[in-house]
């Protein structure tokens, strides 16, 4: 399928109001993930109020490191938007470049997170050190796992973008990867103030 025929298919979808099955699938998947993270975050907030705030334990997390990681993820949102825009215009090499930037920023996020974890563990703050630390590692670890999954998806698209024969099929998948990546960023936007600032 050529870029022109894909554009025609997208136009037909818009005119008929039909949602592509891939987009519908990713929205359903994200809805289930929202329920997972929503339940965990609600449990965290309720337990924190009941346990008296956990101020002493929370004082040991690094707000500066988390703020830097927030900057990395927000920047990666920009690069995935640029990748999607380039894919929509059929600019294969430019889309590949921005996909690679997104992967590098995601890997940087995980590297900083590993550094943060190593510091916490070195000071004896492990998941069994208290309920706050169980939530801390559970929430941020699950989020990091989602970041890793997004990195794998974006890297697969980056590799596919270098193969001219499969590029027309890849173009729309960049949008789906972008939706997932934005979800990962939004989850962090909730985690950052709840875990590190409150």
Question: Which of 15-24, 62-71, 96-105 is predicted least confidently?
Answer: 15-24
Which residues are CB-contacts of 63 (< 8 A; sequence separation ≥ 6)? 196, 197
- Which pLDDT tens digit goes with each residue over 160-193? 998 877 788 788 899 999 999 999 999 999 999 9
Between 103 and 17, the more confident residue is 103
Is the pLDDT assigned to residue 11 strictly greater than 50? Answer: no
For the chain, list the domains and their CATH numbers: 3-51+58-197 (1.20.120.80)
Closest CA to 79 of 154, 140, 148, 26: 154
pTM for the model: 0.86
Q: Cα dihedral sign for 131, 132, 133, 135?
A: positive
State the Cα angle at 52 between 50 and 53, rounded to 5°: 105
Q: Find where tokens 């818009």 sit.
A: 14
Contact 148, 124 (CB under 8 A): no
130: left (phi > 0), else alpha (psi -120 to 50), else beta?
left
């Amino acid at each position: 399928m050529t870029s022109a025929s894909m554009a025609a298919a997208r136009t037909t979808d818009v005119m008929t109001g039909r949602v592509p099955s891939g987009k519908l699938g990713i929205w359903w998947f994200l809805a289930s993930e929202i329920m997972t993270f929503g339940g965990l975050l609600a449990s965290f907030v309720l337990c924190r109020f009941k346990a008296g705030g956990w101020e002493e334990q929370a004082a040991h997390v690094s707000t500066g490191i988390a703020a830097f990681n927030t900057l990395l993820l927000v920047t990666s949102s920009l690069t995935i938007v640029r990748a999607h825009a380039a894919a929509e215009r059929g600019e294969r090499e430019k889309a590949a470049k921005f996909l690679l930037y997104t992967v590098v920023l995601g890997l940087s996020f995980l590297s900083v997170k590993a550094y943060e974890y190593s510091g916490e563990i070195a000071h004896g703050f492990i998941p069994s050190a208290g309920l706050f630390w169980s939530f801390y590692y559970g929430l941020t670890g699950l989020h990091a796992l989602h970041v890793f999954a997004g990195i794998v998806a974006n890297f697969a698209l980056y590799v596919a973008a270098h193969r001219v024969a499969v590029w027309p099929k890849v173009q729309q998948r960049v949008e789906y990867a972008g939706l997932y990546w934005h979800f990962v960023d939004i989850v962090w936007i909730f985690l950052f103030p709840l875990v590190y600032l409150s």
